[in-house]
Structure 1
Amino acid sequence: MDLRQLECFIAVAEESSFTRAAARLHIVQSAVSVTIASLERELHAQLVQRTSRRVGLTDAGNALLPKARAALLAAEEARNAVDDATGSVRGTLRLGTMSSLGLIDLAALLGRFRRDYPGVSVHLATASSNGGSPGLIHAVKEGAMDLAFVSIPGAVPSGARLTEVASTPLDVVTLPGHRLARKESVDLSELAEESFIDFPVGYGNRAVADRAFESAGLQRRVVIEITSITSGADFVRHGLGIALLPRGVGRARNGLSSLPVTNADLNWPISLAVPTNRTLGAAARAFERVALGTRFPATPQPPGPTGDH
C-alpha cells in the first residue's frame, strides 16, 4: 500500500462516489477506479461495493477506513514535524465552513492567508454536505478536516475547542405590509403563530432560534427549510413566511422589513473549531492565527421603527 492509494480510498468512502472522489483529488475517474482495484488486489479483499445507485464500503472497507485515516494522519504529522524544524509552512489546509458566515468575509480572509502563506493550498467543505455544524465538528474530530467555522450554541462538544470569532443577532424579517413590520421591536411571544422559513436542524442559526422558543415555552411552525440566507430573504419577499436572519439582511435586501426581537437570546455565534485530540499542522496553526487575529466588522445597528425598505 502507498499513501496515494489510501487517500483515494478515503475520498471514495467519504464521497460515496467515484466521480466526486475524482473531482476532489483532481484526477480522472478512471484513475480512481484503477487505484481502488489495485488496493483491493494488494489486500486480497473487496473494499468498495458498487451498485447502480450508490457506492458503499464492504465490511473489509469499513475495517480499513479508520486505519487508512490514521495512516494519512501519521504521514501528515511527520511532514508537519519537518516543516516545524525547517520553519516552512506548506501543504494543504482542509477547512470546513457553514454556507453563510455572517460578518466574516471568507473570501477576503482566505485571500489574506494565501498572500501570507503561498505554499499552502486550501480545500473547502461546506456544512450543507456534512450535516451542518455538528457534522463539521465530527469531521474535525475524525481528522477529515483540520479546522472548521461552526455555530454550536450551548455546550461545547467533546473532542473540539471552539473560539468565537464573530456573533450577530437574528432579527425577524418580514414583508413591509406584515402586521409586525411597523413596530420598533417584536416580543418573541408575538411570533409564535407565524409560519417560519428557517434552516434545517443542525444549523447554528436554527439551533439559536429553537433554543429561544423552547426556553420561552413557545411552539413555532417551520414551513420551509433553506440552506442559504439569500434564499431565505427571497422566500420572505414572495410571501411564504417570515424568517429570523442575521441583522442587516433586511437592510441589504430591498423590499423587506427587519426589526429586533425582545425577551429572547437570539445571538448567533460563529466559532473556529480546533481538534483537541491531535496536534495541528503548521498550515492549520497559521490559519488559526490569521483568523483569530482578524477584526471583523461590528454588527449593524437595529433598524428604526419603520423597518428597512
Structure 2
Amino acid sequence: MDTTQLQAFVEIVEQGSMSAAAERLHLTQSAVSKRLQTLEQLLGNQLLDRIGRSVQLTDAGQRLLPIARRILADLDLARQAVQHSPSQVRGALNLATSHHLGLYRLPEVLSRFTRRYPAVDLNLEFMDSEEGCDAVESGRLELAVITLPRAPSSRLITQSVWDDPLALCAAPDHPLHQTGTLDIEQLARHPAILPDRRTFTHRLIADALARAGAEPQVRMSTNYLETIKMLVSIGLGWSALPRTMLDAGVTALPLDMGIRRTLGTAVHRGRTLSAPARAFLATLGADAQSRA
C-alpha cells in the first residue's frame, strides 16, 4: 500500500466520482481506477460501490476513510517539518467558513494572513456552519470559522472569537413598527423569514421565542443572511439578524429577546495542526484582540 492509492480513494469520495477525482489529481480516469483497484486488492475488501457515475462507500470504505485522511494529513505535516524551517510557514490550509463570516468578519484577517504568509496555499470553502463542523470532525478540512454550536461534539475543540448579538428586525414600514409597544404575541402573529430549522441560528431564535411561549410562523427559509435581509427589506416578514447588518432598509424592532450567537473556530481534538493553521489562528486572535 502507498499514499497515492489512499489519496486516490479519498479524492474519489470527496469529489463524488472517478472523473472528478482524476481531474483534481491531474491523472487519467483509468489511472485513478487502477489505484483504487490495487488498494482494494491489498485490503481484500471492496471500498466503493459504483452506481452509475457516482460512488458510495461500503462498510469497509467507511472504516478506512478517517484513517486514510489522518495518514495523508500526517504525511503533509512530516513534509512541512522536514522541508522547511519553523520560520517558513508554507503548505496547504483547508478552511471552512460561512458566507456571512466570509463577507463581514474575515476579509481583513484573510488579507493580513495572505500578505504575511504568501507561501500558504489557502483553500477556502464556503458552507453552512453545521457542514463546517462536520467537515472538521470527519477530517476532510483542518479548520472551520463558523457560528459555534451550543453543544459541540466531544471530538471538536471550539474557541470563541466574536460575540454576535441578533436583533429582531423588519422593514421600516412593516406593521410591527406601527404598534408603539411590541410584545411576543404580536410578533408571533406575523410571518417570519428565518434560516433553515436545522441550523444553529434558527435554533437560537426558535428557542428564545419558545421560552416566551411563542413559535415563529416561518414564511420562507434560506441560510444566506444577506438574502434574508433583502426579503425583510421588501416587507415579506420579520427576522432576527446580526446587529452589524442593520441599516435604513432593515431596522430593529422595539423588542429585545437577548438572542446572540458566538462566532469562532473549530478544530479536531485529535489532529495536530499544521503550521499554516497555527499561523491563521494566531492572526485571527490578534485581529480579535485589536477590535476588543
TM-score class, shorter-chain normalisation, is: 0.7 to 0.9
Q: Which residue of 2 aligns with 1:88?
A: 88
Q: Does the 8 A contact of 2:176 with 2:187 survive in 1? A: no
One-letter code of the match for 2:281?
A: E
- Give the CA deviation at 1:232: 1.0
- Give the CA deviation at 1:244: 1.4
One-letter code of the match for 2:192?
A: F
Which of the pair is proportionally richer in helix? 2
- Give the CA deviation at 1:32: 4.8
Q: Which residue of 2 aligns with 1:31?
A: 28
TM-score (norm 1): 0.80
- Give the CA deviation at 1:95: 0.5
Sequence identity (%): 31
1:278 aligned to 242, 263, 271, which one? 271
- Give the CA deviation at 1:69: 1.5
Deviation string 1:113-151 (CA, Å, 9 cap, x unpaired) is 111111111112222xxxx32332232233211110121
Shift of the 61–145 alpha-carbon distance from structure 1 to 2, 3 Å rule, reads same
Query: For the residues of structure 1 that align with 2:284 and 2:29, how far apart are their CA atoms?
Result: 35
Which residues of structure 2 form unaligned runs of 5+? none
Determine if the alignment matches structure 1 residue 70 to structure 2 residue 63: no
Determine if the alignment matches structure 1 residue 193 to structure 2 residue 186: no
Shift of the 196–87 alpha-carbon distance from structure 1 to 2, 3 Å rule, reads same
TM-score (norm 2): 0.84
Q: Which residue of 2 aligns with 1:168?
A: 164
Shift of the 262–102 alpha-carbon distance from structure 1 to 2, 3 Å rule, reads farther
Determine if the alignment matches structure 1 residue 246 to structure 2 residue 239: no
Q: Does the 8 A contact of 1:8 with 1:32 survive in 2? A: no
CA RMSD of aligned residues (A): 3.0
Determine if the alignment matches structure 1 residue 40 to structure 2 residue 33: no
Q: Which residue of 1 aligns with 2:124?
A: 124
Query: For the residues of structure 1 that align with 2:147 and 2:91, how far apart are their CA atoms?
Result: 27
2:134 aligned to 134, 138, 141, which one? 138
Query: For the residues of structure 1 that align with 2:86 and 2:145, how far apart are their CA atoms?
Result: 29
Determine if the alignment matches structure 1 residue 12 to structure 2 residue 8: no
Counterpart secondary structure, 1:115:
helix
Shift of the 274–294 alpha-carbon distance from structure 1 to 2, 3 Å rule, reads same
Query: For the residues of structure 2 that align with 1:223 and 1:90, how far apart are their CA atoms?
Result: 47
Q: Which residue of 2 aligns with 1:220?
A: 216
Q: Does the 8 A contact of 1:188 with 1:261 survive in 2? A: no
Deviation string 1:36-69 (CA, Å, 9 cap, x unpaired) is 3322134325433332363212344334323312
Q: Does the 8 A contact of 1:103 with 1:297 survive in 2? A: no
Q: Does the 8 A contact of 2:192 with 2:219 survive in 1? A: yes
Query: For the residues of structure 2 that align with 1:166 and 1:199, how far apart are their CA atoms?
Result: 20
Shift of the 193–12 alpha-carbon distance from structure 1 to 2, 3 Å rule, reads farther
- Give the CA deviation at 1:185: 7.6
Query: For the residues of structure 1 that align with 2:179 and 2:204, how far apart are their CA atoms?
Result: 23
One-letter code of the match for 1:268?
A: R
Which residues of structure 1 form unaligned runs of 5+? 300-309
Q: Which moved more, 1:134-143 or 1:88-97?
A: 134-143
- Give the CA deviation at 1:22: 5.3
